[in-house]
């Protein structure tokens, strides 16, 4: 089947979206942006394609009725099992890489001990793996680096102590190996992993085993249909580093505008507040950008400002919004300058203002900056779509609603829980338009 | 009237970003008009002579949320034009029938053109003043500029402004200047009786009140404050300079004094003290205003010093006549005139052994602690230095 | 403020086309020649003047045999040679604020390092500062600062701002009177040379010729494809006439040769020459408002020509004189026309006039839109540019974009940021075209 893919290379995460010929979203994928953007793009794309496969599984199984009533439970188990399979392969790869790197490390006589310790560490990691992907297991991150890293640190310390090996040797080997492993794509293993995962799932859910053929058949059928990468569009800050020709690259402003339009076709104005910048975009009824403004060189009022405040208050970034929501009083914070804000914050605390009131004031200050950028781009028109990490912050949304109402009256505010994929969705839609509307054909290029 | 009652009234006028006082004045008689002006100097006499109320617009202070105004300015431009545009776009300046933008810097200069575009139905004028000080050259040019203003306002009123009206206006402004000179002398003599936060508010009231009413207010304040029983503190006597355009928040002015400094002179609202001597109330009024400007006016960084040795002379005079022990350079962030002038003035002060300190602010500066700290250290060092 | 005149470097990989080489070579020779004249001035007992590009009274200064220094040009030369960063920091250590104009700081920093100019040759401290206070408030402080530190004789020429969008007789009279009663007597005294108005007229005749050819060169961009880049290329073209050469026969010759070359390019249907050769395809035609960045000039330009973007005209190419609406120096009214020249410089125009001019440019040069390069240092240009952007968009219906850089402060050029915005802008224009075609 023909697939149209958008990849958004952000500074911290890389996102991909796959849509089909009818512009339905098939799948979304996300990974951490690494030093190697090619890999990040390849992995995000692969994740989106896998996610797309699951979407197709769901469709097929739902229409066949083979898992009536237990479809979602089955697919959830299948996905966990698939992640486990992937994790185990990467773990094996990591072990092999670590062992290889011991050979080139200058550990002298200790090398032998390190080798043995590594074997033990990975034996334990493999044994623990199923627990990590069990139902209800709480993983802080889905990225291999994060999961394997935290496990390795914990297990490695114990093993090092028991075996009398220097812990820092183990860390050294890990640090050198993880980058290599992280930058491999394992694209050829997907089908195998899915089929192996299917077996695991039948074992985990014995009640479905009786319907084995009715379930496995459509899944195999879908796996046999290639998801053809008909056209790919790259966007985001890292887009220039993608191995794509110019034809396959769009600025994130354009993609963002179009993505917001696809999510909410009535969108006229888009506000995106991300970690690094704030964008205000005006789009026409076809999602084409009419004008845009970004925060100037000064980072005042972007997501990063909140991160700075969180550090200053010794809080987690996600705790700021809820704290601000408890505010009962307006405190005016005038500095959106990250440098001055810290000083103003301490001043306010010293004056006895409550933390929640100050927090609410800070959120309002950020949104005020955004309001200026919006005004610069031509104001807010109905409908108004808010995207980016800060759109998940309830205090920021509250402040935005108030200020929009005060300055522009009542209008529709759209916030999509998947707004992180807005740019990638715009990219995928551009890919679709390029082929379906403009009759373009993907250029031959090196496989990423 | 008590000091408190006077100051409360002034503070209410200061805090009122809707300019109710101006609206009330206009409503009191049909056909009345008001003309806004920005720092540093405009000849208010001409506006008054046309029967109009001159209204000083000094930005939005620290209580105005600036949204639309920010949309017009990059982060590296000072704050006063943003908040002024905000005041305009939110309708708060609708009570003004015109705006004058004096020659002070490129930002305010360009703001005049922005105003022409944004407020097409208002009278807008960039008011240039001469940087050449000979009567036949700069003076001739300036008299012509004054005539244009006079003619424009006459047209706006529907009746030309007469010489007699101008001479009368010069008279009432001479009165006002005398009162303010007395106020400054009074504060310098007994700064504990006239805290600068109060003096400032009394001056600010003159931005929106009719001149004769303001003159009475100043006189009333001097009388009331002279009679007040206020403790004298062991503060350092300082001149504050650099505050001629964008205003520091009132809290900042208070902070300087709380930190141990008596402000004995400053360059707040120079329009009230720009002409240093009485302007003759006879003769050709525009020529007299021109001569006063060319030969007897204050100095600020927006004005060219014709000779190298003139640089810093005015500031040195302020220090000497007021018996100040040091100078506080307070400059708005991104204020080209104040910040470019500063190194020269500092050099002059250093050569005369006058201590100084310097900081930047914005009209909405929120954190006072660093400024208190700095002003406090400066006051302490002055005291130590003078004791040594 | 802002100023032109980079020297065409030998490193520029120009195509070996004889005629083109002529103009480039001439330009380089002229600019270098001026630095050599300044270097030799002391030895030859010649007095040195300094003045600014907007309101540069070059013909008048030549009447007194001054070797002529242009501090803005020195600053930009130091910027292009990567020397300005240190100078700026030196000036900041000496008490200048980080907030203020970096041309001023680059100049003060250079002077702190002794009498050495951008080329490494001696650059004497000026004997007289002609403070042509035209279109930029900072000019006044700049020369006050130099006067304060080095004691240079300073003569003020106050050029009133066109607040009403026109030159009133009173304004012109004021400038002429200052020339007669202050500027000329001071220059006579400092130089020891008696003023001869006929000499001034002779220079102005040369100015006229060069101005005529310059206008033809700049307006050649109305062709499709444009044979020149009216911003990055134009800063080379305006070099001689905006600095020490307006009124000289050398400048007349340079512009004649240049015009010949450009007209040849038009006949051959060729696009502009970039540092990497001739531009193959003109994809976007832009009008640019605001001075360029000098510290990353080549990288900045590359962001345009890599995308096929040509600047067809720019307001910056008018800072040293607006000639394309008919103004010429007039030998029959020498002082009056000097006054009108100063009064008419681009940064002396009010915002409505600037907007009118840009809208006119967009129409006459068939541009796709307006790009504003907002310069941190330069409030004269920058304050109000966001309104210009909005008004031009409104009046022309063409998209506008906004980027921010600085003149000569390398700390203030974020290549990734600028590139991102430019690409977004170009793609937006393209998308709009595609949408319009559907």
- Chunked mean pLDDT (size 10), chain C, 438 residues: 51 43 84 96 97 98 98 96 96 95 97 96 97 96 98 98 97 98 98 98 98 98 98 96 97 96 96 93 97 96 96 97 97 98 98 98 98 96 96 95 94 88 92 78
Smallest Cβ–Cβ distance between A298 and the set B75, B365, B370 belongs to B75
> Is the pLDDT confidence value at B388 over 80?
no
Which residues are paired to C405 by β-bridges? C375
CATH of B230-387, one of 1.10.760.10, 3.40.30.10, 3.40.47.10, 3.40.50.11900: 3.40.50.11900
Q: Based on the domain organization, do A163 and A298 belong to the same domain?
A: no
Q: What is the pLDDT of residue A212?
A: 86
- A232 occurs within a structural domain: no
ipTM for this model: 0.97
Q: Does C280 touch chain B (CB under 8 A)?
A: no
- Residue A75, Cβ neighbours under 10 Å: how many? 18
Distance CA B294, CA B134 (A): 7
What is the distance between the alpha carbons of residues C283 and A232, in angstroms, rounded to a whole number?
A: 23
Averaged pLDDT for residues A221-245: 85
Query: What pLDDT does residue C6 have?
Result: 60
Distance CA A221, CA A60 (A): 9
Is B373 an 8 Å CB contact of chain A?
Answer: no
pLDDT of residue A241: 74
Which residue in the set A254, A290, A438 is minimally distant from C424, CB to CB?
A254
Interface test with A, best of B362, B367, B368, B374 (most A CBs within 10 A): B367
Is the pLDDT confidence value at B375 over 60?
yes
Is residue A440 one of the residues assigned to a domain?
A: no
Cβ atoms of C289 and C206 closer than 8 Å: no
Position A180 scores a pLDDT of 87
Tell me how far apart the alpha carbons of residues A102 and A88 are, in angstroms, rounded to a whole number. 21
Q: For every residue of C243-310, which 3-state class applies, written as one string?
A: CCCCCCHHHHHHHHHHHHHHHHHHHCCCCCEECCEECCCCCEEEEEECCCCCCCHHHHHHHHHCCCEE
Q: Lowest-pLDDT range, A67-76, B212-221, B246-255?
A: A67-76
The CATH number assigned to the domain holding A366 equals 3.30.420.40
Please give the tally of structural domains in chain A.
2
A92: domain range? 81-182
> How much is the pTM?
0.89
Range picked from A264-278, A371-385, B132-146 for highest mean pLDDT: B132-146
Distance to chain C for B336, nearest Cα, Å: 6
Give the length of chain A: 448
Residues 227-256 of C with CB under 8 A from B: none
Least confident range from A82-86, A135-139, B177-181, B202-206: namely A135-139
Number of C-beta neighbours around residue B370 at 10 A:
14
What is the average per-residue pLDDT within A310-327?
86
Tell me how far apart the alpha carbons of residues C437 and C432 are, in angstroms, rounded to a whole number. Answer: 9
Give all strands (DSSP E) within C16-144, no chain letters.
48-51, 67-69, 128-133
List alpha helices for C269-414, DSSP H: 297-305, 334-343, 351-364, 379-382, 385-396
Query: Which residues of B fall within a CB distance of 8 Å from A330?
Result: none
Distance CA B181, CA A74 (A): 88
Contacts of B72 in chain C (CB under 8 A): 384, 386-387
Chain B CA closest to residue C156: B132
pLDDT on residue A444: 55
In sequence order, the β-bridge partners of residue C129 are C50, C154
Average pLDDT, chain A: 88
Look at residue A343 and tell me whether its pLDDT is greater than 80. Answer: no
Q: In Å, what is the CA distance from B261 to each residue of A231, B279, B317, C3?
A: 71, 34, 19, 45
> Within a 13 Å sphere around the CA of A85, how many CA atoms are in the beta-carbon half?
20
| Interface touch A293/C427, C-beta < 8 Å | no
Q: Examine the domain organization and report whether A269 and A397 are in the same domain.
A: yes
Do residues C78 and C103 touch, judged by C-beta distance below 8 A? no
Confirm or reject contact between B27 and chain C (CB < 8 A): no
| C-chain residues near A254 (CB < 8 A) | 424, 427-428, 431
Separation between Cα atoms, residue B236 and residue B326, nearest integer Å = 8
pLDDT band at B285 (very low <50, low <70, confident <90, very high): very high
The residue that leads in pLDDT, A333 or B219, is B219
Chain CA centroid to CA C262, Å:
20
User: At C276, phi and psi to the nearest 5?
Assistant: -110, 30
Scored b (16 or more CB within 10 A) or e, C362-382 reads beebebbbbbbbbbbbbbbbb
Task: Answer whether B117 sits within 8 Å of C391, measured CB to CB.
Answer: yes
- Residue spans per domain, chain B: 21-165, 230-387
Contacts of A378 in chain C (CB under 8 A): 390
- HSE-CB at C433 with a 13 A cutoff on CA atoms is 12
Q: Are residues A296 and A389 in the same domain?
A: yes
Q: Are residue A269 and residue A400 in the same domain, yes or no?
A: yes
**Strand residues in A236-317 grouped as ranges (E):** 269-273, 278-283, 289-294
List chain B residues with CB under 8 Å of C151. Answer: 308
Q: How far apart are CA C226 and CA C219, in angstroms?
A: 9
Residue A170 included in any domain: yes
Question: pLDDT above 70 covers what percent of chain B?
Answer: 99
Taking the C-alpha atoms of residue C105 and residue C376, their distance in angstroms, rounded to an integer, is: 13
In a domain, A446, yes or no: no
Within 8 A of A371 by CB-CB distance, chain B residues are 67, 70
- The CA-based angle C390-C391-C397, given to 5 degrees, is 85
Burial class (CB in 10 A: 0-12, 13-18, 19+), A321: buried
Residue with tokens 């509250």: A398
Nearest to A294 among C421, C428, C435 (CB): C421
pLDDT band at A144 (very low <50, low <70, confident <90, very high): confident
Q: Does C399 touch chain A (CB under 8 A)?
A: yes
The pLDDT of residue B12 is: 98
Cα A307 versus chain centre, distance: 18
A39 in any annotated domain: no
d(CA B145, CA C259): 43
Q: How far is CA C384 from CA A73, B115, C325, in A?
A: 60, 10, 23
- pLDDT single digits (tens) B26-67: 999 999 999 999 999 999 999 999 999 999 999 999 999 898
**Strand, coil or helix: what is C350?**
coil
**By percentage, how much of chain A surpasses pLDDT 70?**
95
Contact (CB, 8 A) for C395 and C359:
yes
Say whether residue A369 is in contact with chain B using an 8 A CB cutoff.
Answer: yes
B105 CA to centre of own chain: 15
- CB-nearest to C427 from A251, A294, A296 is A251
Measure the CA–CA gap between C35 and A100, rounded to whole angstroms: 63
When mean pLDDT is compared across B59-73, B146-160, B326-340, C106-120, the lowest value belongs to: B59-73
Give me the numbers of helices (H) and strands (E) for chain C, helices first please. 17, 10
Q: What is the mean pLDDT of residues B254-272?
A: 96
pLDDT above 90 covers a percentage of chain A that reads 48
Q: Which of C141, C160, C379 sits opposite B77 (nearest CB)?
A: C379
* Calpha distance A334→B62 (Å, rounded): 8
Second CATH level (architecture) for the domain B21-165: 3-Layer(aba) Sandwich (3.40)
Q: What is the pLDDT of residue C15?
A: 43
Size of chain B, expressed as the number of residues it contains: 388
Tell me which chain B residues have a C-beta less than 8 angstroms from the C-beta of C132: none
Q: How many angstroms separate the CA atoms of B131 and B147, rounded?
A: 18
CA distance linking residue A237 with residue B193, whole number of Å: 61
Q: Counting runs of H as helices and runs of E as strands, what totals does chain B give?
A: 14, 8
Matching residue, tokens 């890489």: A97
Closest CA to C243 of C45, C115, C71, C105: C71
C-alpha to C-alpha distance for B63 and C398, rounded to whole angstroms: 38
Cβ count near C317 (within 10 Å): 26
Whether B138 sits inside 8 A of C171 (CB atoms) is no
Rounded-to-integer distance, Cα A409 and Cα A395, Å: 20
Chains touching chain B, criterion 3+ CB pairs below 8 Å: A, C
Write phi, then psi, for A314 (nearest 5 degrees): 60, 45
Neighboring chain B residues of A372 at a CB cutoff of 8 Å: 66-68, 70-71
User: pLDDT of A354-374, one tens digit each?
Assistant: 889 988 988 888 898 899 889
SS3 assignment, position A61? helix
Contact A447/A25 with Cβ under 8 angstroms?
no
Q: Which helix (H) or strand (E) holds A26?
A: strand A25-32
Taking the CA of residue C117 as centre, how many other CA atoms within 13 Å lie in the half-sphere pointing to its CB?
24
Residue from B67, B132, B135, B312 to probe the interface with C (highest C Cβ count within 10 Å): B132
Mean pLDDT of B147-170: 98
SS3 B127: strand
DSSP 8-state code for residue B90: T
Q: How confident is the model at residue A234 (pLDDT cuts 50, 70, 90)?
A: very high
Closest-CA residue of C relative to A376 is C386
C67-69 and C48-51 beta bridge pairing: parallel
pLDDT at B135 > cutoff 90 = yes
CA distance C362 to C367: 5
Residues of chain B contacting residue A375, judged by C-beta atoms under 8 Å apart: 67-68, 70-71
C401, C427, C435 member nearest A250 (Cβ): C427
Chain C residue with minimum CA distance to B117: C352
Q: To the nearest whole angstrom, how far is the Cα of C18 from the nearest Cα of chain B?
A: 45
CA distance C318 to chain B (A): 18
A390: CB partners within 8 A, 6+ apart: A273, A274, A303, A306, A366, A396
């Amino acid at each position: 089947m023909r697939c149209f893919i958008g990849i958004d290379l952000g500074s911290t995460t890389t996102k991909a979206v796959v849509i089909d010929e009818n512009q339905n979203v098939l799948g979304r994928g996300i990974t951490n942006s690494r030093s190697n953007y090619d890999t990040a793009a390849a992995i995000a794309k692969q994740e989106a394609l896998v996610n797309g496969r699951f979407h197709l599984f769901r469709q097929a199984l739902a229409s066949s009725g083979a898992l009536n009533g237990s479809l979602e439970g089955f697919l959830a188990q299948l996905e966990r099992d698939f992640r486990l399979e992937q994790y185990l392969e990467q773990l094996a790869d990591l072990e092999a890489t670590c062992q290889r790197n011991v050979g080139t490390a200058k550990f002298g006589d200790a090398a032998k001990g390190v080798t043995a310790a590594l074997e033990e560490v990975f034996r334990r990691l493999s044994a623990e793996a199923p627990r990590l992907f069990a139902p209800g297991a709480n993983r802080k991150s889905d990225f291999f680096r994060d999961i394997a890293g935290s496990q390795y640190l914990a297990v490695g310390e114990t093993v090092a102590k028991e075996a009398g090996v220097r812990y820092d040797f183990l860390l050294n080997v890990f640090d050198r190996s993880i980058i290599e492993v992280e930058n491999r794509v394992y694209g050829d293993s997907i089908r195998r992993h899915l089929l192996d995962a299917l077996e695991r799932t039948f074992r985990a859910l014995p009640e479905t085993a009786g319907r084995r053929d009715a379930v496995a058949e459509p899944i195999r059928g879908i796996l046999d249909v290639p998801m053809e990468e008909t056209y790919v569009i790259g966007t985001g800050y890292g887009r220039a580093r993608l191995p794509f020709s110019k034809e396959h690259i769009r600025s994130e402003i354009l993609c963002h505008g179009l993505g917001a339009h696809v999510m909410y076709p009535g969108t006229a104005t888009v506000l995106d507040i991300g970690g690094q910048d704030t964008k205000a975009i005006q789009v026409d009824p076809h999602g084409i950008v009419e004008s845009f403004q970004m925060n100037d060189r000064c980072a005042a009022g972007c997501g990063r400002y909140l991160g700075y405040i969180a550090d200053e208050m010794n809080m987690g970034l996600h705790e700021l919004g809820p704290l601000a929501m408890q505010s009962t009083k307006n405190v005016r914070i005038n500095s959106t300058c990250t440098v001055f804000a810290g000083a103003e914050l301490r001043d306010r605390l010293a004056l006895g203002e409550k933390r929640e009131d100050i927090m609410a004031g800070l959120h309002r200050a950020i949104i005020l900056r955004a309001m200026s950028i919006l005004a610069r781009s031509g104001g807010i028109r109905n409908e108004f779509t808010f995207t980016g990490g800060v759109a998940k912050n309830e205090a920021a949304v509250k402040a935005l609603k108030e200020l929009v109402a005060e300055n522009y009256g009542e209008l529709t505010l759209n916030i999509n829980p998947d707004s992180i994929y807005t740019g990638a969705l715009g990219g995928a839609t551009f890919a679709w338009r390029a082929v379906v509307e403009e009759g373009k054909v993907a250029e031959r290029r090196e496989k990423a | 009237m008590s000091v408190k009652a006077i100051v409360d009234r002034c503070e209410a006028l200061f805090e009122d970003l809707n300019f109710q006082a101006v609206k009330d004045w206009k409503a009191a008689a049909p056909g009345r008009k008001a003309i806004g002006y920005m720092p540093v100097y405009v000849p208010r006499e001409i506006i008054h002579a046309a029967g109009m109320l001159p209204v000083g617009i000094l930005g939005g202070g620290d209580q105005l949320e600036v949204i639309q105004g920010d949309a017009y300015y990059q982060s590296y431009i000072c704050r006063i034009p943003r908040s002024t545009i905000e005041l305009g776009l939110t309708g708060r300046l609708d009570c003004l029938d015109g705006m004058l933008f004096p020659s002070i810097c490129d930002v305010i200069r360009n703001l005049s053109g922005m105003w022409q575009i944004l407020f097409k139905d208002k009278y807008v004028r960039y008011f240039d003043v001469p940087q050449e000080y000979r009567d036949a050259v700069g003076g001739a040019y300036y008299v012509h500029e004054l005539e244009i203003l006079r003619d424009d306002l006459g047209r706006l009123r529907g009746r030309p402004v007469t010489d007699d009206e101008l001479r009368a206006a010069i008279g009432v402004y001479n009165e006002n200047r005398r009162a303010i000179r007395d106020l400054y002398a009074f504060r310098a003599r007994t700064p504990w009786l006239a805290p600068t936060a109060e003096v400032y508010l009394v001056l600010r009231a003159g931005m929106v009140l009719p001149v004769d009413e303001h003159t009475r207010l100043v006189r009333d304040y001097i009388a009331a404050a002279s009679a007040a029983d206020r403790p004298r503190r062991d503060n350092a006597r300082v001149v504050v300079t650099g505050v001629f355009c964008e205003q520091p928040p009132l809290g900042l002015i208070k902070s300087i004094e709380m930190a141990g400094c008596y402000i004995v002179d400053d360059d707040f609202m120079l329009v009230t003290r720009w002409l240093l001597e009485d302007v003759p109330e006879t003769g050709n009024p525009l020529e007299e205003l021109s001569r006063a400007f060319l030969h007897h006016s204050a100095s600020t960084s927006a004005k060219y010093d014709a000779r190298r040795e003139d640089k810093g002379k005015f500031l040195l005079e302020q220090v000497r006549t007021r018996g100040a022990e040091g100078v506080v350079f307070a400059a708005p962030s991104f204020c080209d005139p104040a910040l470019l002038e500063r190194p020269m003035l500092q050099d002059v002060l250093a050569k005369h052994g006058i201590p100084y300190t310097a900081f930047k602010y914005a009209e909405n500066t929120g954190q006072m602690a660093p400024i208190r700290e700095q002003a406090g250290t400066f006051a302490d060092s002055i005291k130590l230095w003078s004791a040594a | 403020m802002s100023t032109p005149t980079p020297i065409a470097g030998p490193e520029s990989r120009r195509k070996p086309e004889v005629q083109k080489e002529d103009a480039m070579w001439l330009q380089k020779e002229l600019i270098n020649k001026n630095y050599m004249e300044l270097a030799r001035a002391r030895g030859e007992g010649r007095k040195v003047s300094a003045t600014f590009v907007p309101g540069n009274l070059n013909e008048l200064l030549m009447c007194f045999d001054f070797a002529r220094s242009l501090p803005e040009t020195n600053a930009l030369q130091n910027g292009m040679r990567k020397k300005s960063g240190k100078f700026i920091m030196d000036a900041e250590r000496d008490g200048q604020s980080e907030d203020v104009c970096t041309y001023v700081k680059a100049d003060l920093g250079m002077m702190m390092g002794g009498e050495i100019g951008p080329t490494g040759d001696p650059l004497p401290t000026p004997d007289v500062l002609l403070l042509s206070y035209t279109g930029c408030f900072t000019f006044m402080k700049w020369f006050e600062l130099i006067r304060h530190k080095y004691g240079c004789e300073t003569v003020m020429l106050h050029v009133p701002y066109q607040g009403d969008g026109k030159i009133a007789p009173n304004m012109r009279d004021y400038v002429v009177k200052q020339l007669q009663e202050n500027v000329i007597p001071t220059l006579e005294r400092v130089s020891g040379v008696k003023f001869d108005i006929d000499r001034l007229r002779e220079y102005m005749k040369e100015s006229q010729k060069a101005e005529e050819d310059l206008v033809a060169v700049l307006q050649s961009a109305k062709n499709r494809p444009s044979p020149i880049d009216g911003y990055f290329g134009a800063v080379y073209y305006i070099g001689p006439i905006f600095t020490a050469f307006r009124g000289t026969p050398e400048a007349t010759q340079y512009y004649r040769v240049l015009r010949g070359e450009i007209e040849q390019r038009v006949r051959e249907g060729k696009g502009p020459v970039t540092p990497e050769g001739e531009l193959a395809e003109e994809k976007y035609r832009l009008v640019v408002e605001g001075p360029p960045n000098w510290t990353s000039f080549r990288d900045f330009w590359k962001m345009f020509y890599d995308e096929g973007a040509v600047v067809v005209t720019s307001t910056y190419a008018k800072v040293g004189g607006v000639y394309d609406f008919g103004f010429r120096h007039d030998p029959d009214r020498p002082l009056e026309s000097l006054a009108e020249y100063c009064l008419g410089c681009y940064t002396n125009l009010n915002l409505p006039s600037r907007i009118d001019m840009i809208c006119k440019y967009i129409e006459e040069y068939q541009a796709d839109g307006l790009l504003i390069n907002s310069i941190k240092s330069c409030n004269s240009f920058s304050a109000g540019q966001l309104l210009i952007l909005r008004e031009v968009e409104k009046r022309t219906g063409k998209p506008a974009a906004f980027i921010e850089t600085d003149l000569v402060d390398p700390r203030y050029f974020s290549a990734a940021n600028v590139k991102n915005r430019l690409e977004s802008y170009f793609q937006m224009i393209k998308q709009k075209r595609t949408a319009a075609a559907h």
